[in-house]
């Protein structure tokens, strides 16, 4: 794989050939342009990592070209100016406009390579700083120690090693975007961008410009497809796309290119597509609402995010995580969920999944007072909705599990409830439930119940 893509712009054939051969020997991928017009075409079709730009050219000088690029914005690459006839004023002007450095002709090959290397390192550090500044939240892995979540993380890490398109399916609020970001962070594209595209944008009137960018009188605005170059494009709730948006996406995936609005040249793409849906795409396809060709392209690799009720044993850990999250990020007062409240919420329906749980924690920290959250507070915030939801959700979660997992789930909740009831006393718990103490200790350890963190009365 080449280190970087370098564009050499010079009207002298000997210079172009010499510089391109030297850089190619060093492992760079090189393109050459003999004038400013050709340089514009190269730059518009593919963004270079570095440009070596001659100042004096017959059709348009390099300083004017550099000025136009800087005025248009989105210049993420360093530009090194070259000339054998430039004055100090010209070199100063080029630097003022944003040129990284200036090389005099005849070129010193050692200085050329050193300047290119330093410019590439400078650009890399600048991009890294930009990524760090834009990273509002660190990437977190899907939370939970249940069998379902352990399996999900394992599958995600395995799928992250591939570059094929991926479809995430699951109920609203079940953590599909968190999972997509986790997969991106585990992949070889982790240093590339993660571009999140909601279907609200795809249904908007300016969707084409937002996705594909625009060309207008030589001024280029790059869309989300170009911004995702080298990284991941995440399409949220892809089933909600209208037929026109589906058609445009299908064309991009089939040709691996697109044309900007107002443009004429095909722009190559390089991103991994991760899409999500709450609706079964096969049903949408059979109903005529989703294109079959796009369905088969998207559904090759599929990963399901479990609903929260399917791993309700993770609710206590999630509650603690979001308490810490809002305390550290929003400076809300710390409040604790006692074990009886945690157990109550473990058996709540969670129709809104992780999103509902996160909102609940935020409201309790904002509206409540005192160090401990009471069950009455929780019920008041949840409103009239019963803890077990509709008739279907009133069936205990463990009814849907294999018998061993169901037994463990029941026993863990049962023992945690009574251990809290007896103030953490294993002795009193043993007497109350009729289980010999040695066997009870083994059971608590096997189920991961941290009874030693409580005050024991032996």
Report, at the CATH architecture level, how domain 308-396 is classified.
Answer: Orthogonal Bundle (1.10)
Where along the chain do its domains lie? 5-134, 147-304, 308-396, 401-458
| Residue 123 reports pLDDT greater than 50 | yes
Give the integer Cα–Cα distance in Å for 397 and 434: 26
- Band of residue 312 on the pLDDT scale cut at 50, 70, 90: very high
Q: Within the chain, what is the greatest distance between any pair of CA atoms? A: 96
Q: What is the arithmetic mean of pLDDT over 224-239?
A: 90
- Band of residue 428 on the pLDDT scale cut at 50, 70, 90: confident
* Lowest pLDDT segment from 59-68, 99-108, 287-296, 423-432: 423-432
* Lowest pLDDT segment from 233-242, 328-337, 429-438: 429-438
Give the integer Cα–Cα distance in Å for 344 and 154: 29
Residue found under tokens 């270079």: 48
Bridge partners (DSSP) listed for residue 277: 169
Residue (of 232, 214, 231, 233) closest to 222 by Cα position: 214
- Band of residue 33 on the pLDDT scale cut at 50, 70, 90: very high
CB contact at 8 A, 214 and 260: yes
Q: What integer pLDDT is reported at residue 128 of this predicted model?
A: 64
| Residue 387 reports pLDDT greater than 50 | no
CATH number for 401-458 (one of 3.40.50.620, 1.10.10.10, 1.10.10.60, 3.40.190.10): it is 1.10.10.60
- Within a 10 A sphere around the Cβ of 134, how many other Cβ atoms? 8
Q: What integer pLDDT is reported at residue 263 of this predicted model?
A: 84
CB contact at 8 A, 81 and 62: yes
| Residue 417 reports pLDDT greater than 70 | yes
CATH topology identical between 5-134 and 401-458: no
| Residue 202 reports pLDDT greater than 70 | no
- Band of residue 393 on the pLDDT scale cut at 50, 70, 90: very low
Q: What integer pLDDT is reported at residue 102 of this predicted model?
A: 87
**Interior angle at CA 130, CA 127 and CA 134, nearest 5:** 140
Averaged pLDDT score across all residues of the chain: 84
* Lowest pLDDT segment from 184-193, 200-209, 268-277, 278-287: 200-209
Q: Which residue has the higher pLDDT, 93 or 392?
A: 93
Q: What integer pLDDT is reported at residue 158 of this predicted model?
A: 95
| Residue 455 reports pLDDT greater than 60 | no
On whether the 5-134 domain is CATH 3.40.50.2300, my answer is yes
Q: What integer pLDDT is reported at residue 31 of this predicted model?
A: 93
| Residue 105 reports pLDDT greater than 70 | yes
Q: What percent of the chain is predicted at pLDDT more than 70?
A: 86
Report, at the CATH architecture level, how domain 147-304 is classified.
Answer: 3-Layer(aba) Sandwich (3.40)
Enumerate helices (H) and strands (E) in the chain, giving the number of each: 20, 14
């Amino acid at each position: 794989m080449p280190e970087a893509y370098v564009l050499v712009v010079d009207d002298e054939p000997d210079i172009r050939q010499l510089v391109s051969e030297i850089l190619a020997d060093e492992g760079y991928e090189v393109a050459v342009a003999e004038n400013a017009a050709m340089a514009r075409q190269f730059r518009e079709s593919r963004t270079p990592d570095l440009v070596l730009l001659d100042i004096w050219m017959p059709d348009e000088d390099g300083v004017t070209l550099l000025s136009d690029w800087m005025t248009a914005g989105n210049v993420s690459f360093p530009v090194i100016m070259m000339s054998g006839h430039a004055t100090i004023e010209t070199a100063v002007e080029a630097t003022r406009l944003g040129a990284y450095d200036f090389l005099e002709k005849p070129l010193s090959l050692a200085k050329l390579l050193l300047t290119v290397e330093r410019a590439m390192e400078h650009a890399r550090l600048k991009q890294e700083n930009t990524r760090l500044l834009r990273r509002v939240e660190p990437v977190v892995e899907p939370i939970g120690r249940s069998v379902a979540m352990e399996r999900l993380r394992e599958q995600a890490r395995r799928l992250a090693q591939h570059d094929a398109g991926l479809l995430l399916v699951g109920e609203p609020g079940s953590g599909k975007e968190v999972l997509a970001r986790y997969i991106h962070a585990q992949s070889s594209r982790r240093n590339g961008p993660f571009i999140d595209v909601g279907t609200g944008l795809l249904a908007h009137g300016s969707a084409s410009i937002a996705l594909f960018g625009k060309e207008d009188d030589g001024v280029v605005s790059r869309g989300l497809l170009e911004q995702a170059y080298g990284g991941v494009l995440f399409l949220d709730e892809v089933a909600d796309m209208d037929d026109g948006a589906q058609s445009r996406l299908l064309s991009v995936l089939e040709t691996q290119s697109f044309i900007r609005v107002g443009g004429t040249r095909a722009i190559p793409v390089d991103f991994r597509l991760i899409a999500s849906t709450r609706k079964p795409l096969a049903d949408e396809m059979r109903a005529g609402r989703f294109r079959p060709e796009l369905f088969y392209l998207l559904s090759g690799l599929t990963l399901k995010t479990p609903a929260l009720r399917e791993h309700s044993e993770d609710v206590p850990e999630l509650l603690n995580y979001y308490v810490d999250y809002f305390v550290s990020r929003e400076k809300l007062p710390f409040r604790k969920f006692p074990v009886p409240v945690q157990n109550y919420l473990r058996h709540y329906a969670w129709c809104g999944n992780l999103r509902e749980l996160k909102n609940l924690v935020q409201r309790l920290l904002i509206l409540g007072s005192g160090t401990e959250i009471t069950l009455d507070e929780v019920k008041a915030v949840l409103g009239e909705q019963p803890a077990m939801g509709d008739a279907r959700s009133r069936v205990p979660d463990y009814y849907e599990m294999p018998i061993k997992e169901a037994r463990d789930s029941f026993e863990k909740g049962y023992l945690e409830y009574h251990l809290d009831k007896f103030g953490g006393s294993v002795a009193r718990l043993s007497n109350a439930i009729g289980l010999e103490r040695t066997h009870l200790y083994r059971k608590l350890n096997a189920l991961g119940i941290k009874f030693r963190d409580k005050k024991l009365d032996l």
